[in-house]
Amino acid sequence: MAGTKALLMLENFIDGKFLPCSSYIDSYDPSTGEVYCRVPNSGKDEIEAAVKAAREAFPGWSSHSPQERSRVLNQVADLLEQSLEEFAQAESKDQGKTLALARTMDIPRSVQNFRFFASSILHHTSECTQMDHLGCMHYTVRTPVGVGVPPGVVNIVFGTGPRVGEALVSHPEVPLISFTGSQPTAERITQLSAPHCKKLSLELGGKNPAIIFEDANLDECIPATVRSSFANQGEICLCTSRIFVQKSIYTEFLQRFVEATRKWKVGIPSDPLASMGALISKAHLEKVRSYVKRALAEGAQIWCGEGVDKLNLPTRNQAGYFMLPTVITDIKDESCCMTEEIFGPVTCVVPFDSEEEVIERANNVKFGLAATVWSSNVGRVHRVAKKLQSGLVWTNCWLIRELNLPFGGMKSSGIGREGAKDSYDFFTEIKTITVKH
């Protein structure tokens, strides 16, 4: 059709070259609901080519000194930073998130991560012990398992989980798997990788509680909890979805929290005043909405958002996957909205009486990724943080990361940790060498 803009066609990146695919999948712009690009629908052949390229590149790359590899990682960081705006625009269009968030968090964090590990790789040490009575010395070395950036070192293969994902995780020459996603997918990965005894790092879902005690500073707590509940449309595994508020301040907190939530503007990703953009897909939008319907069917009350307030969008974006931030109350701890990961702009606010009670209720889910605790009592903060079954606990703040320290969840929220030492341990194999002299 005359005047129709050509679709963006993505290609796989294998052995340092962009390669077309025999079939493609439509990819939708979440803010309009329209197809904006086509993605390769790869399968076993593309995975075989990528594994072959990685295998051939591995000896050369793994023999590079830490200084050489550090230089390459810093170069990647520089290139990302030089094209920050271009990457931010692409990330916003693909994910539906606000352009402001992509500019200030996603791309800068990527740059920071490359620079952090470029520095970290220079400071790892090995272990050494002596057994003088036997005339022996023991020491450890670590050998790389994964690969890095010259041709064949990084390969990007697009496709669906059942086709390309299963081909990758079941391939006998892929020694380890690092996965971020849902628990059902992680279960399938575990099944397929088990015959090969692969190393796994699984960063899965969360049902993260915020515990707000009566001595919390609400002027700081409320805006931070709005952000922790609805940032990136609630599509962050670390987002708060259960808010426990001590009874003496419950009414005040709820009123102020709902008022603050209503001020969060839902708008097109390019709107600089928008706090939230669109959800990732139409299917996911319907899934998130279904939780609100189920809550209503159970007798819960919706204070703002879905079905209560009006969503105003430009005509072109009416078919986009937008949803208002939604606050639910009068809901039981056993409800699906309080036990299952929704991964959207929906949070539940419930009252509690005592410290012991709220710890038990907060821990009473299968997940254990993150939690936040709000209190001015330092002793209570440490006491509660220690008892919560969460891999990460933020107190009087949210989403402040220190890359030197472990990141990961307990229970069904995953296996393994990420971070300087933990990532180094995961992506290398340790070997103990004994020398008798």
Nearest CA to 154 out of 40, 11, 51, 38 is that of: 51
How far is C-alpha 437 from the geometric centre of its chain's CA atoms? Answer: 50
Alpha carbons 286 and 288: distance in angstroms, whole number: 5
53 sits in which H/E element: helix 44-62
Identify whether the C-beta of residue 412 lies closer than 8 Å to the C-beta of residue 369.
no
Nearest CA to 96 out of 27, 30, 8, 26 is that of: 30
**Cβ within 8 Å of residue 343, ≥6 positions away:** 205, 234, 235, 237, 239, 284, 288
Alpha carbons 130 and 138: distance in angstroms, whole number: 6
Alpha helices by DSSP H, 263-407? 282-297, 336-339, 355-362, 378-387
| Beta-sheet pairing, 176-180 with 410-411 | unpaired
**Side-by-side strand order, sheet with 136-144:** 128-131, 136-144, 428-436
| SS3 category, 49 | helix
Q: Which residues of 329-351 are buried (b: 16+ CB within 10 A; e: fewer)?
A: bebeeebebbebbbbbbbbbbbb
Identify whether the C-beta of residue 105 lies closer than 8 Å to the C-beta of residue 87.
no
Q: Is the dihedral of CA 86, 18, 37, 306 positive or negative?
A: negative
Alpha carbons 165 and 45: distance in angstroms, whole number: 12
Identify whether the C-beta of residue 400 lies closer than 8 Å to the C-beta of residue 394.
yes
Q: Which residues of 59-73 are buried (b: 16+ CB within 10 A; e: fewer)?
A: eebbebeeeebbebb
How crowded is residue 236: how many other Cβ atoms within 10 Å of its Cβ? 17
136 sits in which H/E element: strand 136-144
Identify whether the C-beta of residue 352 lies closer than 8 Å to the C-beta of residue 216.
no
Q: List the catalytic residues.
A: 203
